[in-house]
Amino acid sequence: MPLIKIDHFIQMKRITFLLLSVLVLVSCNSKSEVESHIYTGEALGTTYMVKYTSDREIDFEKSLDSILDTINSSMSTYITKSDISRINRGDSTVKVDKHFVKVFNASDKIFRESNGFFDPTVGVLVNAYGFGPEKPVKQIDSIKLDSLRNLVGFNKIRLNEDGRVLKDNPAIYLDFNAIAKGYTIDVIAEYLEANNVENYLIELGGELRASGKNLKSDSDWVVGIDNISGTRKPDNFQAKVTLSNAAMATSGNYRKYRTDSLTGQKFVHTINPITGKAERSNLLSASVIAENCMLADGYATAFMALGFDKTRKLLKDLDGVEAYILYSSKEGQIKVFNTSGFQKLILE
């Protein structure tokens, strides 16, 4: 089955010259034997794990395949006959489905809140710099850069009431990979809840969504953020976090930063959708908790593009969004910043 390859650089969080910082589930000791169901496998170019408790058997694997097929047919840029691929080829007759509409509207929300730093049309720049599936541009001079920037801007596309996408320029390339993985988790969660499942934990490529609690430990679900050293032992995490009725996504990778030879400051490169240039960013990793995984995924991506100072400022204006940030100080030290809401969820 063809899948959206979320782990490709075309995803904005891949625009940071990084791979996704992986979140690892923290094991809990069982206090009582509670029957549970666990499914693991591969989907959307990565791995998944779904754990839930239910008083009846659910045909989960068949339903998961159906969910993935539907979302791929709508938003996979790797499937030539998908809606988004047809739209990218300039087909203005395509009428998109409800999944596309939800992701489009959420993308527009984050685009505006981030002042354009989260931008699903940035794919032409990703490809040009050699981080996408297409051939890179041999030399990006000022003329070529101006030409590419004319094709970037989520405000240059609109979604009509009849479900058709209109673009100011037919060559604008739309890509939701920076937010589609989180949305897929939300759709899986909706399926479980529709089947009266109240306690579950979904993990897809490091993004998570949890509901209820872990009945075996009779407590909230506990998840971990990888230690900065890169080790993934159960007792060696950057932070352990309780998660219930919320979602968490992480973007960035503090293990693959570069170091300025003169100042010692650590940084990553990220493509600035506004200038079109690959610029330094001192924000190395962002873990975000939100009400759903689509928003958590999108904000984590936006923060990587914004950098630490702009991210900290934006967080003050966002309701229901908590964050755990790793950034580099001017002296080259890796620092931690987290919102007060995120701090309350960290296990000491």
pLDDT tens-digit readout, 49-65: 999 988 877 888 899 99
The DSSP H or E segment spanning 139 is none
Residue 22 pLDDT: 39
Q: If pLDDT is split at 50, 70 and 90, which confidence band does 16 have?
A: very low
Helix 98-113 / helix 177-194 crossing angle, nearest 10 deg:
130
Pairing of strands 221-226, 46-53: unpaired
Domain map (residue ranges) of the chain: 79-175
Cα–Cα dist 163/93, whole Å: 9
Residue 5 pLDDT: 35
What number is the average pLDDT over the span 217-238?
A: 74
Residue spans of beta strands (DSSP E) within 150-236:
157-159, 165-167, 199-204, 207-211, 221-226
Q: If pLDDT is split at 50, 70 and 90, which confidence band does 257 have?
A: low
Cα–Cα dist 295/125, whole Å: 23
CATH class of 79-175: mainly alpha
Q: Would you say residue 228 has pLDDT above 80? A: no
Q: Would you say residue 15 has pLDDT above 90? A: no
What number is the average pLDDT over the span 63-91?
A: 93
Cα–Cα dist 68/120, whole Å: 20
Cα–Cα dist 253/158, whole Å: 33
Angle CA 47–60–20, to nearest 5: 20
Residues β-bridged to residue 246: 210
pLDDT tens-digit readout, 25-43: 444 444 444 578 899 988 8
Q: Would you say residue 236 has pLDDT above 80? A: no
The pTM for the full model equals 0.86
Residues in the chain: 348
Cα–Cα dist 30/197, whole Å: 20
